Amino acid sequence: MVKINILGVGFDKYSLAEFEARFLDRLRKKESTLVVTANPEIVMAAKEDPEYREIINNVADYVTADGIGIIKGAKMLGLKLPERVTGYDLFCWYLQIANEDHLRVYLIGAKPAVIAAVKEKIAKDYPGIDLVGAEDGYSKEALPEIASRIAQSRPDLVFAALGFPKQEKLLAILRKQNLPASMMGVGGSFDVFAG
Ligand code: UDP
């Protein structure tokens, strides 16, 4: 798949349905997968941070255009991306599958009250999910220590809501270790989900 380059970040040219088909396939095969949903702020941050750019371009398996700004930016460069594919929409989609397939899910991020509300909502609305971890995003530990705790719980899915680039830097550790899980940074999604 040829990527579309926008200011140094390579985006996959798939529609939402095409991404979902690929994500589902990899999830069911337990292939280690890192998804980055990149918005314009992430593209600008990657420009200034070589480690972050390397993660997005060479560690992540898929990069989606999170926001109309990316679609418009592509158009200005004479390129075309099919549609906006947001982290929040993908998060909700993954939760539905996890519920149906009784998957092991690990959540990390947001403030303690927010993650507590997320936990409650999952128990109520997604009873099929096996929530193997739900921790707030303000631990003082180093990322490798957090990553090792996540790996020990053998999750099928990991969602990190720590803001960028921290969330992708954490998940990149697990992706490089080939943790057999699908992983995605979801920014402010826990706050939205908690309502
Ligand atoms: N967050 C966190 N730990 C941090 C910094 C942020 O858990 O060290 C959480 C924050 O509480 C919020 C989420 O990360 O739930 C997204 O934060 P922000 O809106 O700043 O990031 P963005 O959506 O721009 O990536």
- CA-nearest residue, atom 24 of ligand 1: 163
SS3 state of residue 153: coil
Q: Is 131 in the pocket of ligand 1 (CB under 6 A)?
A: no
Tens digit of each residue's pLDDT (9 = 90 or more) over 136-175: 999 999 999 999 999 999 999 999 999 999 999 999 999 9
Q: Is 185 in the pocket of ligand 1 (CB under 6 A)?
A: no
From 162, 171, 193, the mutation candidate for ligand 1 (largest count of ligand atoms within 8 A of CB) is 162
Detail the DSSP E strand segments found in the chain.
4-6, 9-11, 33-38, 62-65, 104-109, 130-135, 157-161, 182-185
Give the ipTM of the model, two decimals please.
0.94
Tens digit of each residue's pLDDT (9 = 90 or more) over 27-71: 999 999 999 999 999 999 999 999 999 999 999 999 999 999 999
d(CA 189, CA 162): 10
- CA-nearest residue, atom 17 of ligand 1: 163
Domain range 4-194, its CATH number among 3.30.70, 3.40.50, 2.60.420, 1.25.40: 3.40.50
